[in-house]
Amino acid sequence: MSSVAMPAVPMTWPPRGFTLIEVMVVMLLIGIMTGFALLSVGGGPRERLKEEGQRLAALVELHQQEAILRGEPRGIRFTRTGYAILSLNEKDEWQPLAAATTLTRRELPKDIVLGLWVDDRPAELAAAGRLPQVLLLASGEATEFVAVLGFADEQGPDAPLYRIAGDALGRLAAGAVER
């Protein structure tokens, strides 16, 4: 038998370094994890105000439609720390709606406060009041109002604000206050 000599090839297994595909997969995974982390943390303070303002605008719009569909007026009672939807009972007294859900009452987060103007005048926001400051009529008309959301500890010209305004015809406008 003859034996053939094999040339000496240095073994370099496992290879050193990473392939381009491996680096790209790791970068993709890091990007996805970073995206999830940012979504779970949420936006900044302006995003929180926008979220609360959009929630209020959607709630007003929902109850405007309810007032029209049911043929019964609704009211909104605002305080510095929240708001509640009211309806008239058999004795024509304003009372909270029977279903105590997030669609009828909202307490704002502790650091967010609300300001209200009705018919171009500042409105009383005492928590003890029983009457609504804003009426949503069965005809689709409403009390003219402007609600402004801001942070309790941030005052001044650079403080973020979010404004929700309703006119006499029941139309709503919402957006960040630009200065």
Q: Indicate the pLDDT class of residue 38, thresholds 50, 70 and 90.
A: low
Q: CATH fold of 45-176, please?
A: minor pseudopilin epsh fold (3.55.40)
Residues 56-81 pLDDT 10s: 999 999 999 989 998 999 999 998 88
Residues 123-145 pLDDT 10s: 888 766 788 999 999 999 999 99
Looking at the whole model, is its pTM more than 0.75?
Answer: no
Residue 44, pLDDT > 80, answer no
DSSP letter, residue 170: S
Residue spans per domain, the chain? 45-176
Q: Indicate the pLDDT class of residue 12, thresholds 50, 70 and 90.
A: low
For residue 111, what are its two tokens?
Answer: 């650091």
In the chain, the amino acid numbered 6 is M
Over its C-alpha atoms, the chain yields an Rg (Å, rounded) of: 29
Average pLDDT value for residue range 37-42: 64
Q: Indicate the pLDDT class of residue 14, thresholds 50, 70 and 90.
A: low
Query: Which of 152 and 100 is assigned the larger pLDDT?
Result: 152
Residues 85-123 pLDDT 10s: 999 888 989 988 876 555 788 889 898 999 999 998 998
Q: What are residue 22's phi and psi, to 5 degrees?
A: -60, -45
